[in-house]
Structures are given as C-alpha cells and as structure tokens.
Amino acid sequence: MCGRYTLSVSNKPAVAKLGLQSVDRFNIAPQSQVMIKTNDGDHTVACWGIPLGGSGASGSVTNARLETLDAKPLFRDLARCALLTDGWYEWQRVASKKQPWYHHRGGALFYLAGVYQPGIGCAVVTQGATEPLDEIHHRQPVLLDDQCLQMWLDGEQSRGELPTLEVLFHPVAQRVGNTRYDDSDLIAPADINEAETGEMADLFPQGETLYAAGDRE
C-alpha cells in the first residue's frame, strides 16, 4: 500500500516550473492536495482520496488494487493518472511496533500509478510487493518511469508490462507518522535497535538496500 510519500521541487526545475507546488514536501498524507499528471497529458492538483459513494461521502479510499481495478465499481470508470514523487514510506510491523522505511531513487523523479475523478480526488494504484520489499509490507505502489508513464495513462499497459525500477530503501525515524512534521530529516536514515527489529537487522545489515521493483508478479 502507500500511506505517505514525498516530492521535492527545489531540485527539479521542470516540476517547479509547473507552479503547482511551491515547497519541498516530505510527508504528503491522505486528503492532501497532490500533483498529478492526467491521462490527457496535463498537470494539475487533486485531493488524495476518492470519497466512498460520491463527493459528499464522509469516508474515502486512497489506494486501489491493480488486480481488481477494472472490477470494482468505485474505480472501473475512473480516468488514469500518475502522482509525481521522489519517494514513499512503508511501515513494517516488528513485534508490537511499526517501523517506517523510506523508498527512493536517489532524489530522482518517478511516478506512482493512479486513478482519478476530475474535481473529486485520486487514488494510488498498488500491487503485490516484490522481493525483498515484501519483507517490509505485502503491498507496494505500482511504479512508473518516463518510458512507461504514457502507456499507463493511455490504458495500454498490462500487468505483465510493468517496469522494473531500481529503488533504494532505508529505515527512518518514527516521527514521520505525525503529519505535523514535514522536513528533510524525515527521510534521513535511522538506526534500528537490533533487539526491536529481530531478523530485519540481519536482512538489511547495510541500512540501505537496492531492489528492482517489478522483478516478479
């Protein structure tokens, strides 16, 4: 799944030039206004979340499963979009606690596949997590690079054509769980107490791991 993500514009002149985001954001949460590229090629902002039962509903969903995207009434008639990002967070359950991890491409821009309803909101499309990311969480966003972006927006991309992106990930501090915080320290690598992480300390001894998203179905 995807519950928080980041997008810096100060190091991305082309993105900053769009004028849709004025500051770097390190803790983008559901119900935030987020930057998307629509299926007609335009960039705009949308609320991250699609209301259940229409625009006046109190509840909303922020993630949509790729496997059932065309089957669920809430999603099957929505337009495709892509959320601009340079990283996302995932929480791994360790005993009674949850440890956040940051996933990124060294600050480079990439995209999260999404669906949206103009004037209403958008949702991130997710898939089963690939190895070794599935040790952290069983779901992950569908990731898009420039090459596959337009295929997704045009609806021409099948599950078997999802790109393989090299992604780094490392543990970060628990404060990312509080939406009041939105600063660059949130993405800084954090030390994990081996007593709390158990086998994860052995699995990722370097603190930063490279994996290819899309290595398996």
For tokens 């949308």, the residue is 46
Residue 160, pLDDT > 50, answer yes
Domains of the chain: 4-213 (3.90.1680.10)
Sign of CA dihedral 210, 212, 215, 217: positive
Average pLDDT over residues 126-146: 86
Average pLDDT over residues 146-166: 76
Residue 45, pLDDT > 80, answer yes
Average pLDDT over residues 198-214: 41
pTM: 0.86
- The pLDDT assigned to 191 comes to 87
Q: How sure is the predictor about 214, in pLDDT bands with cuts at 50, 70 and 90? A: very low
Average pLDDT over residues 183-202: 68
Beta carbons of 3 and 30 less than 8 angstroms apart:
yes
- The pLDDT assigned to 54 comes to 55
For tokens 């089963």, the residue is 128
